[in-house]
A and B are shown apart, each in its own frame.
Chain A
Amino acid sequence: MGKTKNLKFNFDISSYRLLGRELITDRITALFEIVKNSYDANAENVFVEFHDVNTRKDISKIIISDDGIGMSYSDLQNKWMVIGTMSKRETRMSPSPYNRKLVGKKGIGRFAVDKLGSHVILKTTVKGSKVLHCLKTDWRDYEELENQQLQLKFDDDSFQYFTDIENEYWEEEVPPIKQGTRIEIYNVTDPWSELDVKKATSELSKLISPIQTFQYPFNIYISSNEYDDFQDRLVENNSIGFASLDTEISFDLKKGTQQVLHFDENTGNLNIIDVPISDSNNGGMGPIKMRLFYFNQNDKRRFKRSYAGAIIDGVKIYRDGLITTPFAEHAIERDKERDILGIDKRRYSGFFDKISSRDLLGFVEISDSLNPMIIEATNRQNFVDNDEYRELRNFIINQIEELEKRLSAQKREEREQTKSNLRIARNDLKETSTIIKAIKNIATPEVKSELGLVERNVREIEVQIKRGINEFNELEKEQNKQRDLFLSLMSLQEYAAEISHVVRTAVANIADSAKFFNVYFPNPKYSEQYLLHASHIEAEMNKLALAIDFMLSYAKSNIGFKEIDLGATLGNLFNKTYRDRFIKADIHYTIEIRDSFVFTHNVKFFEDIFENLISNSMKALKAVKGPKHIKCSGSLKGDMYEILFSDNGPGIPEKLRRKVFNIYFTTTEEDGGAGMGLYIVQTRIKAMKGTVSIIDSEFKPSGTTLKICLPIKSDE
């Protein structure tokens, strides 16, 4: 060891807390940060060594070393020891010829060390130097001081600043060809099990795109003296090997073309076609390289078996081969990962055909030179929201959608193929039977008796196949039914959220009034308000009672789903259930169902819609002096079935139209309107994935017309 002296960090508690510790949330992120620092230092190789870490012992240590540019004494003093210089932010590139885009967080990698262990020895040297600069830091000293400082005893004479803590510095000799930095971490905070090391490996493997070839390599090696699998193991991203579908698109700068995925419905193939590059000089996102890997259930199982702790986690964007910052931060909890590209958000609009980010690994390659306007936001949580980035996001989603089309076509194809194979098998057997019959006619008695046995067997198989075909068809029908049920359950979820909103609102209002009494009563300043609050409480209680009735309608109704013929059901409702009441109220009604429409749903729920509409119209028609009309018509409109429901009542003023579907909104309070009718109508129609809106009245100038659109589901 050479001369020993002391060095002090040049920062204070506020910057320590502000810039450092609170940004590093867990140890895997910490490791990730340190390795990113090596990348920024032009290292080609980083070695992460775990020594005796399985249980925490005195000899446990973690060593991270690289062959990067290292630090001189002045670097150590003026950069490492000073927070706030942020030298990284001023030059965004690492030194030439590597010119790597810097990925480390705002100079806080050194704090990451603290998360791994409190006692650190840093050894570093630059090329050509014979001196290895060594610095020992014990973060416990800082923590102790931080605790003292938080007590804010400013008048205490012994008060110390972070800048007062002395860190031991010494020099050692090195062969001049060596360069790089070595961080030895002792007093390791937590034990690292083999699974922990595997997880860390899996995280580190995401740092570099598996589809990029670097001009200058960046290899990470992990080793452990305890785990056999980790003997200078190269960290590689092999996850993509398990995917059953792999697509790749690129671009050709000379031709000015960008490849995109295109699903051809006629051939069922996922093709790659050329389109013009979106020119970054003219406000475009620039050319994109992308690879998508789709994992089906089997692939996922194999993937999980081979990569303990690893996950399939969607599409990530890499710039010049290295992960971009919004994706570069590890999230411990899966659910806290952010859906930056909005892939999972799409699934709510069509559960069955959409791929989730858990089925997909994607690597989007951009570069500083070709995609200059795709910029990471300064908060590192997203990209700067500009037209170019939006274009990129749409581009990625479009590619995924083409892939989805291919997958659902494939599913359909496989189903058809199975069906047709079964049919072919049945026909083949029939033919076999015919041939056997023919042979029997010319065969000897012994052969005939043998053939009889074969014939019986063939017939039995034929019956089995027939049964198989029937079961297959039944299963398909059942599956469609289940899908319908599932869709309505999804909307039940929506409904549950709505009901809880209603109950919470009422409870909040009651609590507010109670609070008012509690705090202000009997202050005479508010004497008028007390009465108001008493009546609010009563009104809110009534609303709660209504909401409970509505919930009970679900409990009482038969949850079973069955086929409903729209025409017949409406006919029944108008001509039987309501006929007498219409006559009594002097209402003339018309039903015009032009196209037949049969669907699977809960009969009670469907009837609810029209019972509420009829009841609303009858209330509205009370005010009409002349002839009273209710009209209901239905017809196919493209892939929707459209129902128009009209009356010639006083109508709904334009400005109230968007409010009438709100719960408790009513204009017929005196007629017993509670504001539930149209709310129920809308909820039930939503459950059928349909829409309802108020359009211009058929009975102009007065009257109301509601337009209901229900989707016609294909048999996919």
Chain B
Amino acid sequence: MKSNIDIVVIHDNVKRESYLITELQEQYNNVKLIDDADDGIEYISHNFSHKTIVVLDMDFGNGTNGFDVLKAIRQYSFLIEVIILSANEPSDARNALTNNIPELPGLRVFDYVIRGNPNWQEKVIEKVNKAEININGSIMNAIDSWIEIQSKDRRKKPFVITNDGVQYSLDQLKKAIQQNDDTSRKLEEKILMMAIKLMSKTPKE
């Protein structure tokens, strides 16, 4: 069965009939190809869902480039996985992998593939598959999906209070998760810590 996760390829050198797109369509129901960076930003702004994987070019010639698109994506959500596909070795992308762009910390990308290297299409597909596992296995994505299926009323009511006394409704929590802000990071950290504590405290019989 094909996966329902959204795949958006934003690239000016990938054609609709290309092997990459054809093969992605064999595996995924929703594959969208956009050949312009500005159109890519436009599309994401109207259609973003946390269950999206974006395959992104860096170099669109003059004007808006892949980083602008990445920045725009991150404005909407930190849960969207982004795979960079560029003919250049993107040092900025590599930096993004380690969260280390001085001007833009936190612009995380999932991975990058150099277009033109041997078997680049397989590599992209492999990364897309991995990103899908990541999305499905992410604690934050799980919480985000769970919030989505709650009733509107419930989402508006206060749900958690942080140690500093700040109150969060589910809607606010959802926003925090998408922005990957301190609260959401702390929440994730605490859930992980709890899991580790539980694991380490389970006595072996």
* With A501-B88, A529-B22 as contacts: A508 and B13 at CB distance below 8 Å: yes
Q: Which of these, A382, A385, A504, A665, contacts B116 with CB under 8 Å? A: A504
Q: Which of these, A15, A500, A532, A658, contacts B17 with CB under 8 Å? A: A532
Q: Give Cα A661 to B87, complex, Å.
A: 18
In contact, A507 and B106 (Cβ under 8 angstroms) = no
Of all chain A residues, the one with the shortest Cβ separation from B59 is: A501
In contact, A12 and B199 (Cβ under 8 angstroms) = yes
Residue with the highest number of chain B CB atoms closer than 10 Å, among A378, A512, A526, A658: A512
Interface residues of B in 93-107 (CB under 8 A from A): 98-100, 102-106
In contact, A340 and B102 (Cβ under 8 angstroms) = yes
In contact, B17 and A533 (Cβ under 8 angstroms) = yes
| Interface membership of chain B positions 12-35, coded 1 if the CB is closer than 8 angstroms to chain A and 0 otherwise | 011101111011000000000000
B46 at the interface (CB under 8 A from A): no
Write the nearest CB–CB distance from B203 to chain A, whole angstroms. Answer: 8
Interface residues of A in 324-341 (CB under 8 A from B): 338-341
Chain B residues whose C-beta falls within 8 Å of the C-beta of A342 in the assembled complex: 102-103
A82 at the interface (CB under 8 A from B): yes
In contact, A508 and B87 (Cβ under 8 angstroms) = yes
Residues of chain A touching chain B, judged by Cβ–Cβ distance below 8 Å, are 10-12, 14-15, 18-19, 82-84, 86, 161, 163-164, 338-342, 345, 377-379, 381-385, 393, 497, 500-501, 503-505, 507-509, 511-513, 515-516, 519-520, 526, 529, 532-533, 536, 658-659, 661-663, 665
Q: Give Cα A230 to B72, complex, Å.
A: 55
Q: Which of these, B14, B61, B116, B193, contacts A661 with CB under 8 Å? A: B61
B68 at the interface (CB under 8 A from A): no
**Interface contacts beyond A381-B98, A512-B18: sample of 14 additional A-B pairs, CB < 8 Å, sorted by A:** A10-B200, A82-B200, A84-B199, A86-B193, A164-B204, A345-B102, A381-B99, A385-B104, A505-B115, A508-B87, A511-B116, A513-B18, A516-B17, A519-B23
| Interface membership of chain B positions 169-205, coded 1 if the CB is closer than 8 angstroms to chain A and 0 otherwise | 0000000000000100100010001001101110010
Chain B residues whose C-beta falls within 8 Å of the C-beta of A663 in the assembled complex: 61
Which interface class (under 10, 10 to 19, 20 to 34, 35 or more) fits B? 35 or more
* With A14-B199, A163-B204, A512-B121 as contacts: A382 and B99 at CB distance below 8 Å: yes
Q: Give Cα A515 to B23, complex, Å.
A: 11
Can you list 8 pairs linking A and B with CB atoms under 8 Å apart? A11-B200, A14-B196, A382-B102, A507-B116, A508-B115, A512-B19, A520-B19, A662-B62
* With A84-B200, A340-B102, A658-B62 as contacts: A516 and B19 at CB distance below 8 Å: yes
In contact, B193 and A379 (Cβ under 8 angstroms) = no
Q: Give Cα A326 to B22, complex, Å.
A: 44
* With A505-B115, A515-B121 as contacts: A381 and B22 at CB distance below 8 Å: no
In contact, B189 and A378 (Cβ under 8 angstroms) = yes
Of all chain A residues, the one with the shortest Cβ separation from B192 is: A18
Interface residues of B in 140-190 (CB under 8 A from A): 182, 185, 189
B120 at the interface (CB under 8 A from A): yes
Q: Give Cα A10 to B99, complex, Å.
A: 32
Write the nearest CB–CB distance from A28 to chain B, whole angstroms. Answer: 20
* With A505-B115, A661-B62, A662-B61 as contacts: A15 and B199 at CB distance below 8 Å: yes
In contact, B199 and A382 (Cβ under 8 angstroms) = no
Residue with the highest number of chain B CB atoms closer than 10 Å, among A161, A536, A658: A658
In contact, B105 and A377 (Cβ under 8 angstroms) = yes
* With A86-B193, A507-B116, A659-B62 as contacts: A385 and B199 at CB distance below 8 Å: no
Write the nearest CB–CB distance from A23 to chain B, whole angstroms. Answer: 14
Chain B residues whose C-beta falls within 8 Å of the C-beta of A345 in the assembled complex: 102
Chain A residues whose C-beta falls within 8 Å of the C-beta of B22 in the assembled complex: 516, 520, 526, 529
Chain B residues whose C-beta falls within 8 Å of the C-beta of A519 in the assembled complex: 19, 23
Q: Give Cα A515 to B115, complex, Å.
A: 14
Chain B residues whose C-beta falls within 8 Å of the C-beta of A526 in the assembled complex: 22
Q: Give Cα A512 to B61, complex, Å.
A: 21
Chain A residues whose C-beta falls within 8 Å of the C-beta of B204 in the assembled complex: 161, 163-164
Q: Give Cα A513 to B15, complex, Å.
A: 10
B63 at the interface (CB under 8 A from A): yes
Q: Give Cα A512 to B17, complex, Å.
A: 10
Of all chain A residues, the one with the shortest Cβ separation from B58 is: A501
Write the nearest CB–CB distance from A503 to chain B, whole angstroms. Answer: 8
Write the nearest CB–CB distance from A82 to chain B, whole angstroms. Answer: 7
Write the nearest CB–CB distance from A653 to chain B, whole angstroms. Answer: 14
Interface residues of B in 26-74 (CB under 8 A from A): 59, 61-63
Chain A residues whose C-beta falls within 8 Å of the C-beta of B197 in the assembled complex: 84
Of all chain A residues, the one with the shortest Cβ separation from B13 is: A505
Q: Which of these, B13, B88, B120, B189, contacts A511 with CB under 8 Å? A: B120
Q: Give Cα A14 to B116, complex, Å.
A: 37
Instruction: List the 9 closest pairs (A to B, CB-CB), nearest first.
Output: A662-B61, A504-B116, A658-B63, A508-B116, A504-B87, A342-B102, A385-B105, A516-B19, A515-B19
* With A504-B116, A515-B19, A516-B18 as contacts: A509 and B100 at CB distance below 8 Å: no
Chain B residues whose C-beta falls within 8 Å of the C-beta of A658 in the assembled complex: 61-63
Write the nearest CB–CB distance from A337 to chain B, whole angstroms. Answer: 11
Write the nearest CB–CB distance from B96 to chain A, whole angstroms. Answer: 12
In contact, A393 and B102 (Cβ under 8 angstroms) = yes
Q: Give Cα A532 to B98, complex, Å.
A: 40
Chain A residues whose C-beta falls within 8 Å of the C-beta of B23 in the assembled complex: 519
* With A14-B199, A659-B61 as contacts: A378 and B185 at CB distance below 8 Å: yes
In contact, A505 and B200 (Cβ under 8 angstroms) = no
Chain B residues whose C-beta falls within 8 Å of the C-beta of A505 in the assembled complex: 13, 87, 115-116
Q: Give Cα A505 to B87, complex, Å.
A: 6
Q: Give Cα A338 to B115, complex, Å.
A: 26
Chain B residues whose C-beta falls within 8 Å of the C-beta of A504 in the assembled complex: 87-88, 114-116
Write the nearest CB–CB distance from B86 to chain A, whole angstroms. Answer: 8
Of all chain A residues, the one with the shortest Cβ separation from B57 is: A505
Q: Give Cα A513 to B200, complex, Å.
A: 52
Chain A residues whose C-beta falls within 8 Å of the C-beta of B116 in the assembled complex: 503-505, 507-508, 511
Residue with the highest number of chain A CB atoms closer than 10 Å, among B14, B104, B120: B120
Of all chain B residues, the one with the shortest Cβ separation from A14 is: B199
Chain A residues whose C-beta falls within 8 Å of the C-beta of B185 in the assembled complex: 378
Q: Give Cα A507 to B23, complex, Å.
A: 19
Q: Give Cα A589 to B130, complex, Å.
A: 61
